[in-house]
Amino acid sequence: MSDLAQLVMQRIDALAQISDDDGHTTRFFASPAMRRANHDVGSWMREAGMSVRVDAVGNLIGHYPAAQPDGKILLLGSHLDTVRDAGKFDGPLGVLIAIACVQHLSDAKTRLPFAIEVVGFADEEGVRFQSTYLGSRALAGTLNPDELRRTDARGVTMADAIREFGGNPDAIVSAKLDANRVLGYAEVHIEQGPVLEQKHLAVGVVTAIAGQTRARITFTGHAGHAGTVPMNLRQDALCAAAEFVLAVESLAQNTGGLVATVGEIAASPGASNVIPGETRLSLDVRHPEDSVRVRAADDLKKRAEGIAAERGLTMKWETVHQTGAVICHRHFTTLMENAVRRHQQEAPLLYSGAGHDTAAISAICPVTMLFVRCKGGISHNPSESATEADVRVATAVMNDFILQLAKSA
């Protein structure tokens, strides 16, 4: 598997150059860079003996046939979209290791009792339309067609973006997989956390994925002259937002296991001598237990209402996305643990604070994930990195998992 690990690393570097933003790695849903990424990854899938298609929403899917035509399908893969100014590994690593495993089977002319479909999901991060798991929810059949009316920062609807990309928004339902034909889904992903590095281990097995609530909050006050409006007469929307941001941090610091983040904030009209009349913020709240997450989001909504009332402003709260926590499938997790133990001295079990397409696909089949150590646990950052040696272990473990599944299928 060694030269395949080297090939994965070379392709990681090549893919990182495909971007909508020169000098950075940025690939948003249905963008020109996503089209170029689908083209290159599609050619690598064909080199590995797969036929390739792009579904109605833009997911790239490679198919490696089973030994017999009515075999079920094992899904492998991850996402090809990225956050803004991303690292090289978040998403592509899972797609490229999956292709390497199929390459290994194809080179050995091995056919299994099930087919393998490697998916490069079209949109996991949800940066462009603030709705995560677009690609995997389309495959799971849980994408609400109403979402096609969402608009991006330029006012382009999701439906038009899909159409422009060459997809078919009216045929989104055709992207849904027949759950009866799907054996399960396995995703390799960088850990995006420090645990494996602290344990000095290359890989670990994911047992659960945190639930997420994402909201968009708007504080509306009154723009005014920075030099003439006395402090006691202001309705400053940015001060309200600032108070709310610290309230978010304080709640998360005082609630075990809760993480909450305001990642985006915009003040308008945005001039140094004008009191901000409006601020728009994003909110991301996560916890392994759904009841704690939901209660925290409710508490923060009440806090935002209170801040607005105290300051004479109005506040609009839009919950734009919610996914429940997901527990990975017991049998698949055991198979993955056994595979890990054949390649490193222990098989650590980890919980994922980050969301993954695995969470969406769990709606239709058993799922499991393999985490790969990443330097300093850093992710969503250009300095995100993993080593070829760890990629070699992860590829061998995934290959082992697939062969074990074939024996038990």
Q: Long-range contacts made by residues 263-271, C-beta under 8 angstroms, separation at least 24?
A: 265/241, 267/237, 267/238, 267/241, 268/223, 269/223
Cis bond upstream, residue 230 (ω within 30): no
Q: Which stretch binds Mn ion (CB under 5 A): 27-35, 89-97, 270-278, 304-312?
A: 89-97
Q: Which residue is nearest to Mn ion (CB)?
A: 90
Q: Which is nearer to ligand HGY, 124 or 400 (CB)?
A: 124
> How far is Cα 309 from Cα 290, in angstroms, rounded to an integer?
29
The structure tokens listed for 23 are 């000098």
Query: Which amino acid makes up residue 257?
Result: G
Q: Note whether 82 binds ligand HGY by CB under 6 A.
A: no
Q: Which stretch binds ligand HGY (CB under 6 A): 124-132, 198-206, 227-235, 239-247?
A: 124-132
Q: Note whether 132 binds ligand HGY by CB under 6 A.
A: yes
Shortest Å distance, C-beta 132 to ligand HGY: 6
Binding mask 236-275 for Mn ion (x = CB under 5 A): ----------------------------------------
Q: Which does 136 bind (CB under 5 to 8 A by kind): Mn ion, ligand HGY, none?
A: none
Among 12, 134, 355, 393, binds ligand HGY (CB under 6 A): 355
Total chain residues near ligand HGY (CB under 6 A): 5
> How far is Cα 99 from Cα 82, in angstroms, rounded to an integer?
19
> How far is Cα 248 from Cα 210, in angstroms, rounded to an integer?
18
Q: Which is nearer to ligand HGY, 131 or 344 (CB)?
A: 131
Q: Which does 132 bind (CB under 5 to 8 A by kind): ligand HGY, Mn ion, none?
A: ligand HGY
> How far is Cα 220 from Cα 2, in angstroms, rounded to an integer?
57
Among 55, 117, 125, 337, binds ligand HGY (CB under 6 A): 125
Q: Note whether 90 binds Mn ion by CB under 5 A.
A: yes
Closest CA to 280 of 220, 214, 222: 220
Q: Note whether 93 binds ligand HGY by CB under 6 A.
A: no
Closest CA to 346 of 404, 392, 397, 398: 397
Helix (H, G, I), strand (E, B) or coil at 338: helix
Helix (H, G, I), strand (E, B) or coil at 74: strand
Q: Note whether 357 binds ligand HGY by CB under 6 A.
A: no
Q: Which is nearer to ligand HGY, 81 or 400 (CB)?
A: 81
> How far is Cα 57 from Cα 376, in angstroms, rounded to an integer?
35
Q: Note whether 354 binds ligand HGY by CB under 6 A.
A: yes
Specify the DSSP class assigned to residue 98.
Answer: H
Q: Which is nearer to ligand HGY, 125 or 191 (CB)?
A: 125
Q: Which stretch binds Mn ion (CB under 5 A): 1-9, 90-98, 177-185, 208-216?
A: 90-98
Q: Which does 357 bind (CB under 5 to 8 A by kind): ligand HGY, Mn ion, none?
A: none
Among 81, 124, 191, 278, binds ligand HGY (CB under 6 A): 124
Sign of CA dihedral 360, 85, 349, 252: negative
Secondary structure (DSSP) of 267-306: EES--TTEE--EEEEEEEEEESSHHHHHHHHHHHHHHHHH
Q: Note whether 26 binds ligand HGY by CB under 6 A.
A: no
Residues 6 or more apart whose CB falls under 8 angstroms from that of 341 comprise: 347
Shortest Å distance, C-beta 94 to Mn ion: 8
Q: Which is nearer to Mn ion, 133 or 165 (CB)?
A: 133
Q: Which stretch binds Mn ion (CB under 5 A): 84-92, 101-109, 180-188, 329-337?
A: 84-92
Shortest Å distance, C-beta 384 to ligand HGY: 11
The Cα-based distances of 365 to 29, 352, 361 in angstroms read: 25, 19, 7
The whole-angstrom distance between residue 165's C-alpha and the CA centroid of its chain comes to 20
Shortest Å distance, C-beta 29 to ligand HGY: 12
Positions in the binding site for ligand HGY (CB under 6 A): 124-125, 132, 354-355
- Please give the residue ranges that form the binding site for Mn ion (CB under 5 A): 90-91
